[in-house]
Chains A and B, each alone.
Chain A
Amino acid sequence: MKQNDINELISAYYDDELTQSELNYLLEETRKNPKLLSKLSNYGLISTISEKNEKVISIFDNISNFVQRRWVSNGLTASAAVLLTILFLSDPFESRFSESDQINSQIRDAIESEEAAKTFSLIENDLIPHVMSIIDNNGKSFGDDLAIDLSPVGFNRLDNNPGYFVKGKKKIQVRVEPNTLGISENRYWKSGTKLIYLYPTVDGKIISIYGDLSIQEVEKIIPVLIK
């Protein structure tokens, strides 16, 4: 086979368009001549350069619109809110939050984009894992939550479910733990009736509240917790 034919095979491999026998042939050729791999890298480079375009931007525009429809945030930059949503919608959370194959596909593209990497560097490293751990609570006890008494605002502890409190049909989760997030202002996210509220105390702790709550209700709970 001529050199150009092998190069054409590399191009077709890049596009995932080789037959099994062609792929095996190419594999043997690159084994004999590893320099052929530079051709493959060159084709990847063309794609990388051509990807630096509006496509990624439009993906993020779509996701931003999606974010605006689903989550309202008071404390994050737009890019961080986008990333929060991306992470919420990606594994293992997508089954809970996803809306359609199209948006999932866009999110996957976005996660894989350079823009996503840049966004990662813009936000606090530990914030998103913390918020995710609240939403995904498996009933573990956290730090001071056994000392929490919300009876002044009508919430009773769920004995078999540490950190959870009920008031009628309303069930919320409350955690108090050392503030390792570096947050100095309260933050919250809302989606429908769900609210996640983070409140940093002056004595170096972070109060996390999650459940079917309004801001006004949280503002009544916080003073009880920091008393």
Chain B
Amino acid sequence: MNIPQKNEALLLEKAKKGDKQAFNLMVIKYQPRIMSVLYGFLKIHSDAEDLTQQTFIKAWTNLEKFRGDSSFYTWIYRIAINLAKNFVKKPSTQIEKTSLSIDDHHYDLPEDLDPLSFISNEELKSDLDNFISSMPEKLKTAFILREYEGKSYEEIATVTNCPVGTVRSRIFRAREEIVNYFKKEVYETE
């Protein structure tokens, strides 16, 4: 997957000047991926959740050290992996949670879809594939070209012969359909 960087660069500039909301916008999009990596490492929901928080807090407190040599995601990924390795070596790392906390800087899990219950569910990948297959052709094409092929909106617009605004709308609608599907089908059957 190509890591987006254009919008990120603008947010990074603001975050480095102390704009926490800009930083939130940067990290929350990666929250499920970081959590998935940590869960793959630790296999315990609460530990994965705690270390995800620690990852973001550590990233915030060390943001000035991020020079942009790698993508922002790669940087926070490395923080997460290092935290996980230290955590496995010495469980007392948990104590650091308190000292790392920042008064008004806390990352709540989303209230609607809980990433952990999804990440640890191996069957969801095939559920997702099946649902995508059943989506209207235009939504499906736009979503797949973006999500799986990493095409830009402009490239998708060229391929599908429609305006960029339409592509943007189709991808959004596809995502909304998927989120709603998971909310209805997965949560209600649990």
Give the interface of A toward B (CB within 8 A). 7-8, 11-18, 20, 23, 26-27, 30-31, 34-35, 37-38, 40-53, 55, 91, 108-109, 111-112, 114, 117-118, 120-121, 125
Chain B residues lying within 8 Å of A120, measured Cβ to Cβ, are: 41, 81, 85
Determine how close the nearest CB of chain A comes to the CB of B27; give it in whole angstroms: 10
Say yes or no: B29 contacts A40, CB within 8 Å: yes
Contact A11 B168 (CB under 8 A): yes
CB-CB under 8 A from B118, the residues of chain A are 45, 48-49
Cβ-defined contact, A117 with B29, below 8 A? no
Q: Which of B128, B153, B175 contacts A49 (CB 8 A)?
A: B128
In residues 1-53 of chain B, which contact A (Cβ within 8 Å)?
A: 1, 3-8, 10-11, 14, 19, 21-22, 24-25, 28-33, 36-38, 40-41
Are A8 and B169 interface neighbours, CB within 8 A? yes
What DSSP secondary structure best describes chain A's contact surface? helix
**CB distance B168 to A49 under 8 Å?**
no
Determine chain B's interface SS by DSSP, over half rule.
helix
Number of interface residues of B (CB under 8 A): 62
Query: What CA separation (Å) do A55 and B2 show in the bound complex?
Result: 13
- Please tell me if B146 contacts chain A, counting CB pairs below 8 Å: yes
Interface status of B110 (Cβ within 8 A of chain A): yes
Known contacts: A42-B113, A111-B74, A118-B41. The answer to whether A48 contacts B33 by CB under 8 A is yes
Q: Scan B69-86; emit 1 where CB is below 8 A from any A CB, else 0.
A: 110011001000100110
Q: Which residue of B lies closest to A38 (CB)?
A: B110
Query: Which B positions have Cβ atoms within 8 angstroms of A?
Result: 1, 3-8, 10-11, 14, 19, 21-22, 24-25, 28-33, 36-38, 40-41, 69-70, 73-74, 77, 81, 84-85, 88-89, 109-113, 115, 118-119, 122, 124-125, 128-129, 146-148, 152-153, 168-169, 171-172, 175-176, 178-179
Known pairs A11-B168, A11-B175, A114-B36; A49 contacts B125 (CB<8 A): yes
Chosen A-B contacts, 23 in total, with CB atoms closer than 8 Å, are A12-B171, A13-B25, A20-B10, A27-B21, A37-B110, A38-B112, A40-B25, A41-B28, A44-B31, A48-B118, A48-B119, A50-B128, A52-B122, A53-B129, A55-B1, A109-B1, A112-B1, A112-B77, A114-B37, A117-B37, A117-B40, A120-B81, A125-B89
